[in-house]
Amino acid sequence: MNKIEINIGLNNNPCTAQEIVMTFVSSYTSVKHNVQVGEWEGADEPTVVMEFYSNEPVNDLRNLTEALTDTLTQEAIAFRFNGEGELVFNGNYTGERYPFDEQYFLTIK
């Protein structure tokens, strides 16, 4: 099983934290979650923090995360697969693409 961690911002998001979590609970095992205050472009943002396990290949999970950026109206979603982090950007995003930065990534407490 691969450990997946994901941070999904709630600003400008049409879904509630509970709706987002339920999407993952129905598809993955051992989903842990909470809402914490994260940061995006220098501003505080409430963020759904999740940890779960999957046998899916990283590319499938990356593609799912990219699809979620559109559905959840996010410029990017922070994603970590077995300890390796990246920002998965919305395919339509034209702004500056920041690298993944561990100091901003939130984990389950």
61 within some domain? yes
Domains: count for the chain: 1
Query: Domain containing 13 — which CATH number?
Result: 3.30.70
CA atoms of 84 and 80, how far apart (whole Å) = 5
The whole-number pLDDT of residue 103 equals 94
Kindly give the confidence (pLDDT) of every residue in the chain, 109 residues in length, as a single tens digit, with 9 standing for 90 and above: 899 999 999 999 999 999 999 999 988 988 999 999 998 888 999 999 999 999 999 999 999 999 999 999 999 999 999 999 999 999 999 999 989 999 999 999 8
At 82, is the secondary structure helix, strand, or coil? coil
DSSP string, 13-75: -SS-HHHHHHHHHTTSEEEEEEEEEEEETTEEEEEEEEEEEE-S-HHHHHHHHHHHHHHTT-S
Boundaries of domain holding 81: 2-96
Q: What's this model's pTM, rounded to 2 decimal places?
A: 0.93
